[in-house]
Amino acid sequence: MNVSEALKTRKSTRAFLPQEVSQTLIEEILNDAKHAPSGVNMQPWHVCVVSGEKKRTLENSIIEAFERGVKEVMDYAYYPLTWEEPYKSRRKETGLLMYSTLGISKEDKPRQIEQWKLNYRAFDAPVVLYFFIDAHLGKGSYLDYGMFLQSIMLSATEKGLASCPQAALAEFPSIVKSELDIKENMLLLCGIALGYEDTKALINSYRTPRLSLEEFVTFHA
């Protein structure tokens, strides 16, 4: 598989098989991704690979807090406070596409909540990667981190694994940091669910559209 194929094949997978992922394979993926570029070679990434009993304990703590109505403040603002066009419409379209794929109506709030809670279980992937960054670093390091995250997902795709990057896994930073013994000077950025795709799951047939080049590119010569 070449890079172009990996880019087009990768998708946000939301249902996984219970098949385990070996630590050797995870290490190979991270060894690939560590070659991502970063400003003055800062390499600002800190990764916690979570599986097994620790994963179950962590996700149960998060879901329990969610069900009790606990609301934490994320360590950084992932989404805008006010949604404007065209992003507002794209967000709405994405949600409608997913729920329509699953046959969940906009009035069916209980099923919507149950679907949302799957985020906190990393969609039952056998492995979840949590990503942290030093709080004092600047916006450039967030750009670096994005390239690192993409590198992880492309390497995983090449190796036959599926993934899903998840901002939702950063919604309860105090719980995650406590469970994983992370210092308070580290910000929780996101997580990535990692495993083997359940190709029979209906949710995995859901794909989001992409803009044409004419909609976001201008050429100057």
3-state secondary structure 153-169: HHHHHHCCCEEEEECHH
In a domain, 60, yes or no: yes
Q: For 27-43, what is each residue's pLDDT tens digit? A: 999 999 999 999 999 99
Task: For residue 47, tell me if it sits in a domain.
Answer: yes
Burial annotation 17-36 (CB, 10 A radius, 16+ → b, else e):
beeebeeebbeebbebbeeb
Residues 1-25: tens digit of each pLDDT: 899 999 999 999 999 999 999 999 9
Q: What is the DSSP letter of 73?
A: P
Q: Give the domain extent around 133.
A: 13-78+121-207
pTM: 0.95
Spatial separation of the C-alpha atoms in residues 91 and 108, rounded to whole Å? 19
User: Is residue 2, in this structure, part of any structural domain at all?
Assistant: no
163 is a domain residue: yes
Q: Is residue 116 part of a domain?
A: no
* Residue 53 dihedral angles phi and psi, to the nearest 5°: -65, -35
Q: What is the per-residue pLDDT across 60-97, written as a single tens digit (0 to 9) for each?
A: 999 999 999 999 999 999 999 999 999 999 999 999 99
| SS3 state at 97 | helix
In a domain, 29, yes or no: yes
In a domain, 181, yes or no: yes
Asked whether residue 86 is domain-assigned, the answer is no
pLDDT for residue 172 is more than 90: yes
Q: What CATH number should be reported for the domain holding residue 195?
A: 3.40.109.10
Neighbours of 105 (CB within 10 A): 10
Domain count, the chain: 1
